[in-house]
Structure 1
Amino acid sequence: MEHLVEAARIRRAVVRLNRRLRQERGAGSLSPNQLSVLGRLYRHGPSTPGEIAVAERQCPQSLTRVFAELEAEGLVGRAPDASDRRQSVLSLTEAGRRALEADMAQRDAWLAEAFGALSETERGVLSLAASVMERLGDPE
């Protein structure tokens, strides 16, 4: 039961921090789904729409519009799959990488400033917690 209470506390804290980080994004920023797709391509390289949908736990049809928007904005490229010409492979373009990095930089800047109000020990604890959360959050 103790683990359940602590897990709920950590979840609430992560949700609040995530909400605050979203608030720090500029007007006209990428949508959460667009960020999710670009981030996936950034971390894992070219992928089929189906692979992205599975990884993001969404149905491919719900991401079709997101893929089309990103392609129309030049943030992703689409090419036929070399092993199965019926499928396409999406890849991050240079413009997509820059857009994703700019979005991350806004939030990183806010977080870096917020860290200034913390003690060295608190920053160390958060750094350690980040390593643990990365391990928990990325099962791949």
Structure 2
Amino acid sequence: MTPMMRTNNWIPAVFNDFFDTDYMPRANCTAPAINVKESDKAYTVELAAPGMKKEDFNVHINDEGNLIIKMEQKNEKKEEDKSVRYLRREFSYSKYEQTLILPDDVKKDAISAKVDNGVLTVELPKIVEEKAKISRQIDIL
């Protein structure tokens, strides 16, 4: 049995080239990739967001103690020419929100975040429990 590919022939293929151009790019409906690493001292969350700037992100902890990562980017291409009127303007809008449930051993008041080369990195330091030393001198009665 050979696999069969189905196509919608009610729209001519010539429109594929028309709709997939620099003037009308295809919508990207994928979520950014997230990596979570753990070391002895911290958890590290990395979120890939090429082309995004620091101003496009919002990272906070909600009332339930969960980490909320939001990113939103709006682009509007405008060409200002007063002698013509616009029949079409192009907008680009992307929005993403992710909620991460934090482990109990995260020090929530020391969380930090930075953006570098299109990657948001959130550092989640762990609570370090110092083990009390139990060595002591015992008096003999």
Q: Same-fold call, TM > 0.5? A: no
TM-score (norm 1): 0.28
TM-score (norm 2): 0.28
Bigger Rg over Cα? 2
